[in-house]
Each structure stands twice: as structure tokens, then as C-alpha cells.
Amino acid sequence: MSSIEQNISRIEQEITDAARLVAVTKTKPVAVLQETYESGFRRFGENKVQEMVEKYNLLPKDIEWHLIGHLQTNKVKYIAPFVSLIHSVDSYKLLKEINKEAKKNDRVICCLLQIFIASEETKFGLSEEEAVEILSSESLADLKNIKITGLMGMASNTEDESQVRSEFRGLKKLSLDFGKYDAENVSIKDVSMGMSGDYLLAVEEGSTIVRVGSAIFGNR
Ligand SMILES: *Cc1c(COP(=O)(O)O)cnc(C)c1O
């Protein structure tokens, strides 16, 4: 077994069936993704549209592609034909654009609302109030080619485990509260949280999707 295969297998055992693993392949060459694919793994996460499209074009078509990085509205059209889950929706305008491009491709695209949970200034995401505004907006029901299936968050980059834990706990709680917005195109079930440094903590706090890169592929 290659070390990539061993790492994936170990992480999948650690997170159990409680969560799905997205292998974050950003910056890794296509050969590394090909090797990972050949070991049987099918769920890849990229943070840049262009890089994801290039890799999509070169690799087998039964891969599940997850966009985990910030998405600009003018780039939605490039990924709309094939993306599996967009983790990083942070505005209503973006949601409308995803809906429009999904419709052109005769698809329903699953999306997570990215919520700002860290204490740092630099990360993207919606406040709780902004997420509520989107979920309670009258016109959301018109977006028939998207489905909001959960929330995503990135914890603070800190050694303080109790802080990270409380940020994860808050996001999980919010996802449960948001059950009240259930609709034809809204069903908040997934919580995408946890990266190489904190995925075990995230799963303990109820993560259902972990996004892990360096713990699988080594440092970037
Ligand atoms: C890069 C990245 C990850 C994975 O980070 P690692 O620390 O390498 O596991 C997870 N989520 C997002 C949004 C990322 O950009």
C-alpha cells in the first residue's frame, strides 16, 4: 500500500461512518490524483476553479469534485457542468448565479453556506445573521436548480483546543437550529468542518464532512 492509501485508510477509520472524507488535492500534480484514484478513492477537494477544471479534464469522470475555496460569480460557469458540492457559498448573489448555471446544465447543484466561525479577520464566510437572511428570503424557493444541504466553517488557526472546539460546537448547533428552514431546496444536514490539524476534534463535535490535505499528501 502506498503512503497516500495508508493515510486515507487510517483517517477513514478514525472518522468512522460519522463523516465523509474529502481529500484536498490543491497544488498536487495530476499524477498524485491519478494514483489516489487508482487506490479506489473518488472524493477530491480543490480551492481554485481553474485548477479544478484542468484536473477534471485530465482525470476519469466518476470523481466527485468538491469546491472548497472562495468562488467568484464569473467563474461558476466553468464548474457548473460537473461539480458535486460547493462548500463555499457566501452570498445570495452567488447562489443565484449557481442556480442559473446549474439550470443551463440541467442539473441541481448542492451547496453549503460558509459560515464565519473563526476569530481571525481574513477568512471568508457569512455571519449567522447573513445566513438567516438567505435562508428566510422569499425568493429562495425560486432557485430550483440549487439545494442547500448544510454549512461549512473553518476554525481559528490556534493551538487553543478549547477555542477550536467551541467554534465547531457553535457551527454544529447552528446547523441543527437551521433545520427549521427545511424546504424543497433546503435541507441542512451536512456540516463540513475539520482539516488536517483538527479533524478529530471536528468529528467529536459532529462534523459530517472533513476536508483533509496535508495529513494525506504531506506538506504543500
Ligand atoms: C487547504 C484547505 C483544506 C485542507 O487543509 P490541510 O490543513 O492541508 O488539511 C481544507 N479546507 C479548505 C477550505 C482549504 O483551503
Distance of CA 217 from the midpoint of ligand 1 (Å): 12
Tens digit of each residue's pLDDT (9 = 90 or more) over 116-169 = 999 887 668 999 999 999 999 999 999 999 999 999 999 999 999 999 999 999
Domains, the chain: 3-217 (3.20.20.10)
Residue whose CA lies nearest to ligand 1 atom number 7: 196
What is the DSSP secondary structure assignment for residue 91, as one 8-state letter?
-
**Quick check: CB of 212 below 6 Å from ligand 1?**
yes
Work out the pLDDT band at 2, boundaries 50, 70, 90: confident
Q: Is 190 helix (H, G, I), strand (E, B) or coil?
A: strand
Q: How far apart are CA 19 and CA 133, in angstroms?
A: 28
Predicted structure pTM score: 0.98
Q: Is the CB of residue 213 less than 8 Å from the CB of residue 23?
A: yes
Task: Answer whether residue 114 shows pLDDT above 70.
Answer: yes
Work out the pLDDT band at 99, boundaries 50, 70, 90: very high
How open is the CA angle 7-26-186, to the nearest 5 degrees? 90
Q: Indicate the top mutation candidate among 24, 115, 214 to test ligand 1's pocket, ranked by most ligand atoms within 8 A of CB.
A: 24
Tens digit of each residue's pLDDT (9 = 90 or more) over 167-202 = 999 999 999 999 999 999 999 999 999 999 999 999
Q: Is the CB of residue 211 less than 8 Å from the CB of residue 45?
A: yes
Tens digit of each residue's pLDDT (9 = 90 or more) over 4-44 = 999 999 999 999 999 999 999 999 999 999 999 999 999 99
**Quick check: CB of 214 below 6 Å from ligand 1?**
yes
**Quick check: CB of 91 below 6 Å from ligand 1?**
no
